[in-house]
Structure 1
Amino acid sequence: MASTTGRDAIEGMDEIRDVNEPAPAPEREKTSEQEKADQHAKAEGFASEAAYEDYLHAVAEDAPIEEIVVDVERAAAREELERQIEEVRYEIGNLRARLHNIRHQAGSVVEENIRWADASAHAQLGDYPWLKLSGAMLLAFFTGKALQRLPFGSLVTAAAPLLIAAARERGR
Structure 2
Amino acid sequence: MTRRDIEHSKGLDTDADLQAHLAELEAEAPAEEVLTPPADHALSKAPLQRIKGDLDHVRNEIEILGARLSLVKQQTVAVARSKAEWADASAHAQLGAYPWAKLAAAMAATAVGARVLRRLPPGAVAAAIIPLLIARLEAKSRP
1:73 shift after superposition: 2.5
Gaps of 5+ in 1: 1-60, 167-172
Query: Kindly tell me: are residues 130 and 156 of structure 1, through their superposed partners in 2, closer, same or farther at Cα, counting changes over 3 Å?
Result: closer
Structure showing the higher helix proportion among its residues: 2
- The aligned counterpart of 1:120 is 90
Q: 2:36 aligns with which of 64, 75, 89?
A: 64
Query: Kindly tell me: are residues 148 and 101 of structure 1, through their superposed partners in 2, closer, same or farther at Cα, counting changes over 3 Å?
Result: same
Amino acid at match of 1:139: A
Instruction: Kindly provide the CA deviation profile for residues 77-118 of structure 1, in whole angstroms up to 9, marking residues without a partner as x.
Output: 111111111110010000000000000000000000000000
Q: 1:90 aligns with which of 53, 57, 60?
A: 60
What's the secondary structure of 2:97's corresponding residue? coil
- TM-score by length of structure 1 reads 0.51
Amino acid at match of 1:108: A
1:158 shift after superposition: 7.4
Amino acid at match of 2:72: I
1:151 shift after superposition: 1.2
Q: Give me the whole-angstrom Cα distance separating, in 2, the residues matched to 1:125 and 1:156.
A: 31
Q: Give me the whole-angstrom Cα distance separating, in 2, the residues matched to 1:156 and 1:144.
A: 12
Query: Kindly tell me: are residues 90 and 117 of structure 1, through their superposed partners in 2, closer, same or farther at Cα, counting changes over 3 Å?
Result: same
Gaps of 5+ in 2: 1-32, 135-143
Q: Give me the whole-angstrom Cα distance separating, in 1, the residues matched to 2:126 and 2:81.
A: 55
Query: Which of structures 1 and 2 has the larger relative contact order (alpha carbons within 8 angstroms, sep 6+)?
Result: 1
Amino acid at match of 1:149: R
Q: Give me the whole-angstrom Cα distance separating, in 2, the residues matched to 1:157 and 1:118.
A: 40
1:121 shift after superposition: 0.6
CA RMSD, aligned part only?
Answer: 2.5
